[in-house]
Amino acid sequence: MRDPRRIKKVLKTIEDIWRQNPDLRLGQLLGNAVPENLIYYIEDETLLDRLCLTYGVDVAKTEEVGSIVEELDEIESMGADKK
């Protein structure tokens, strides 16, 4: 099973890139990074790598955001455990 915590990292990366390129539609944003016929088959990490490469985003910054998101998820889950 894929780690559900990856979702926030993926969405945050897409949001950051999209905010830097607001004239693009979502399909264009993704299609510029990954050919249409491959989008269905690639893993999320590969998608992130391709987006970062295509739009000149620092991968280290994306990984930093991912680690922050993971920390927040852990804190959030600890709070849910107490309920």
Residue 60 lies in a domain: yes
| Domain count across the chain | 1
Looking at residue 28, its pLDDT comes to 96
Q: Could you tell me the pTM of the whole model?
A: 0.68
Asked if residue 22 has pLDDT above 90, the reply is yes
Q: pLDDT higher for 57 or 30?
A: 30
Domain of 49, in residue numbers: 6-82
The C-alpha atoms of residue 57 and residue 38 are separated, in whole angstroms, by 21
Q: Is the pLDDT of residue 75 over 60?
A: no
In a domain, 36, yes or no: yes
pLDDT at 47 over 60: yes
Domain membership flag for residue 52: yes
69 lies in a domain? yes
62 occurs within a structural domain: yes
Q: Give me the pLDDT at residue 13, please.
A: 92
User: What is the structure's pLDDT at 73?
Assistant: 55
Residue 1 lies in a domain: no
Q: Is residue 13 part of a domain?
A: yes
